[in-house]
Every structure is written in C-alpha cells, then in structure tokens.
Amino acid sequence: MDKNQKNIEKTRSLTDLANQLSGLTVKHAESSTLQHFSLTVPFLIMVESCNESRDFCQFYEITFDHHASVILNENERKLSLNRAQHKHSFVEIMFVMSGEVTMQIEHKIVNYTEGQCCIMNRNIRHHELLKGDFSIVFFMFQNEFLGNILNDYQAELKIFSNHHTFSKTSEIFRLMLDNQAETHFFDKVYLNYHPIVSGQAVLEKMTPLFNEILFEIMEKKIGCSLYIKGAFLRLFQFLTSPELYSEEKSLAKAEHHEQVFAEIAHIMEECHGHCTRDELSQRLHYTGEYINRIVKMYTGKTLTEYGQIILLEESRRLLTQTDMNISDIIYSLGLSNRSYFYRIFEKAYGVTPLEYRRKASKVE
C-alpha cells in the first residue's frame, strides 16, 4: 500500500483504537488532560514498534486469552502524538529492544535507548511519543498478580537468600511492597535501569527470557502460569544485578494546582460540561473561588465558558465519529433546550450541527 492510499484511509478515533485492546481499558481516551488505564487481566505484554520514516506504528497485545495487533495509519499516528498523558492502576515495566524512545513523565522529557528499562509505578502521568524508530516491550501487572510474585519470592528468599541478588533492599522490592501495603510512599516514584555493559550484551540475556515467556503463553502447557511468575522474578533479578545495570530512583512530582485542574477536567468531561461551581466544591472539597481561579489559570476561561467548550467538543466528536441523529446527540449531552444547543453551536462553528456533519463527511 503506497502513501497516497494510506492517506485516504479512514482515521479511527483514540476511543476506537483503545477499544481494539481487550486486555487494557482506557478511560477518557479522548480527554485533552489525562487518560486512565486499567487491566482486565492479571498481566499483559505489549510490544510496540514505531518507524516514523515509513509511517508505521504497531501495537501487539499478548495475554493468556487474547492476542491482538493494532496498526496505525499515518493520520492515526499523528493523532496519537497529541494525545493526553495517562496514568494507570498497575505497575508497568518498559524495556527498549531497539532504537530510542522519548517519554514525557509529568513535565520531564526522558530518552531511553536500547537495553534501558523503566519501571513506572501507579498514578504517574506519562506517555511515550510515537516518533522516531524504536521497538519496546511493556510488561503490565495487576496488583494481585504482582502480590503473588512477591509472596513466591519471599518464600524462596528464606531458603536461597545467600544466592539471590534481588533482596529486600532493592528498590524494585520496596516499590512492589509499597503497592501491596497501599502506603503510597512510591506513588510518584519511577525506576530507571541503565546498562553497565552494552545494550546488545543486555539483550543477549534478556531476549531469551522474553521469548520463553511468550512461548509459555502461546503453548499453555501445565505449569505455564508458575513458570511465567518465575520468569518475571528472573527479570527483576537481572535488573538488580550490579554486573548488568545501575539503578536510578526518580520522583515525578506534579504541582498541586495541576492535579486539582486534572480532577476538575475529568469531572467536567464526565458531565459533558454540566457541573456547577458548588457541585465541584462539594466533590473536591475546595472553595468555589479557588476552583474558578484554577480553571482560569489553565484555560483562560470562566468555569461556565470551559464547560461550554467541553460540551461543544463532545458534540463535534459525536457528529463526526458516530451516526447518532441530532436529537439523540442533544439528549446524550444532557440538554433539554434544543434551541440553546443550536445557538451556541452555530456561534462556535459558524454552521448548524447538520451542516457541520456534512462538511466533515466531505473532507473524509
């Protein structure tokens, strides 16, 4: 398929793309502020490849019950470049198999190259940028699954403590323990692992382990779940080996008012912009004056104006990405006054909702 053909392919929305991945649930996929990721399976492996020069980007999802591949066309890759940061309810390990990947972690830009690894804890805003050439693998663990691994390790540690480099003093162990105890000391901590040896030398050790994990998932032989837990422990042991890696503990600290605005934005998006200052004040336990000041700081708009922008953006999305009729769209937005909707829509876009849909359809 040549580039001209790719350009005329229908561009799927971020919601459509997210729905292709059954093991990963993405909440607020269209949000301009923050997305939320959660797992529907005990663990998930995601292989992500990007080749910007070829306009190629692929996500390959692997779980015990499901394998899925999602390939982005050129327009979808560019759309994903502008997506919001996300945080998740699970621990995630990112390992760079080739090339260089750029991550935005809160306000910081971090580059990772071949053989480097990042362990991202829950509740940290981040995303990788789909540009350049790279191949990375993500390992994602539900808290209960991670707890089972931790329990197995603690049992082995009592027997083989003299032979293990992965000890209670390692940051990986402490991060996992904090997740189990819900003490939140590591909520904003992520761990970086930099190879002491060459990236290729690290890959020679890691790649066979990754391949064995994938083989066990595909074959589903008796004992495979036990083997996979043991393989993940081996992965942690590799990362804590001083002959292979140096460990760096980093703190991703967001400013308080930014977190407050993210909370406001999510509530407003859930309500399609219909949430008063008093309602926000009750839900967030901040004064209405403070909420107004935060919204003005980040948007330059009043709360009412900001809510209207969210309402119009959602209406625009429904017009262009669904077949819902205008009446159903108005109802789904929680509006009872049809003339009010038409008035603010035409003021914002210069055309009626139906005309907007027709023009958008012609562009596609």
What pLDDT sits at residue 7? 45
Identify the H or E element spanning 27: strand 24-27
Q: Which residue, 59, 115, 125, is CA-closest to 92? A: 125
Percent of the chain past pLDDT 70, that is, above it, reads 92
The phi, psi pair for 313, rounded to 5°, reads: -65, -40
Question: The whole model's pTM is what?
Answer: 0.74
* Mean pLDDT (whole number) for 234-244: 91
Is residue 181 pLDDT above 80, yes or no?
A: no
DSSP lists the bridge partners of residue 44 as 140
Please give the pLDDT value at position 363: 56
Q: Is pLDDT above 70 for 169?
A: no
pLDDT of residue 164: 52
Q: State mean pLDDT over 246-274.
A: 84
pLDDT reading at 322 higher than 90? no
Instruction: Work out the average pLDDT over 55-62.
Output: 94
Confidence of residue 231 (pLDDT cuts 50, 70, 90): very high
Categorize the per-residue pLDDT at 1 as very low, low, confident or very high, splitting at 50, 70 and 90: very low
> Phi/psi class of residue 123: alpha, beta or left (left: φ > 0; alpha: ψ in -120 to 50)?
left
User: pLDDT-derived band of residue 75, with 50, 70 and 90 as boundaries?
Assistant: confident
Whole-number Å distance between alpha carbons of 356 and 196: 57
**Range name among 13-27, 121-135, 251-265 with the lowest pLDDT average:** 251-265
pLDDT at 11: 83
At 3 the pLDDT is 47
The confidence score (pLDDT) of residue 317 equals 84
pLDDT of residue 53: 87
Please say if the pLDDT value at position 23 is more than 60. Answer: yes
Per-residue pLDDT at 5 exceeds 60: no
Are 35 and 29 spatial neighbours (Cβ–Cβ below 8 Å)? yes
User: How does the average pLDDT of the chain come out, rounded?
Assistant: 87
Q: What is the predicted pLDDT for the residue at 206?
A: 94
Which letter does DSSP use for residue 89 in this model? S
Cβ-based burial of 317 (10 A; exposed 0-12, middle 13-18, buried ≥19)? middle
Pairing status of strand 133-141 against strand 43-51: antiparallel
